[in-house]
């Protein structure tokens, strides 16, 4: 199992939990396990075609999965997956 760190904006969808355990052989499977257990997280994380939403950044043990193998990045027991929604806005 991997530990998935939940950002504050998604915590209401995980019952307030800052971290959850989820199984899977790769990052995509871990995130799908999260959405299976907490269905309200699905549309925040994935688009209509099942791809990761572009404003969601995912890290495996502090490495951006985009520079690894994306959602196919292998996950081992004890790994940490961090979900970070991109922030937008600024001064006008």
Encode pLDDT of 8-42 as tens digits.
Answer: 999 999 999 999 999 999 999 999 999 999 999 99
Hey, which residues does 64 pair with through a beta bridge?
A: 59
Domain boundaries, the chain: 2-85
Q: Could you tell me the pTM of the whole model?
A: 0.90
Q: Architecture of 2-85 per CATH?
A: Roll (3.10)
Sheet holding 63-64, edge to edge: 19-22, 2-5, 80-85, 56-60, 63-64
């Amino acid at each position: 199992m991997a530990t998935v760190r939940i950002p504050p904006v998604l915590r209401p969808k995980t019952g307030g939990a800052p971290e959850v355990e989820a199984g899977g052989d790769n990052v995509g499977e871990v995130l799908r396990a999260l959405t299976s257990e907490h269905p309200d997280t699905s549309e925040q994380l994935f688009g209509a075609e099942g791809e990761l939403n572009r404003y969601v950044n995912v890290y495996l043990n502090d490495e951006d999965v985009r520079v690894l193998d994306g959602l196919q990045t292998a996950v081992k027991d004890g790994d940490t997956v961090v979900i970070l929604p991109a922030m937008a806005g600024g001064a006008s």
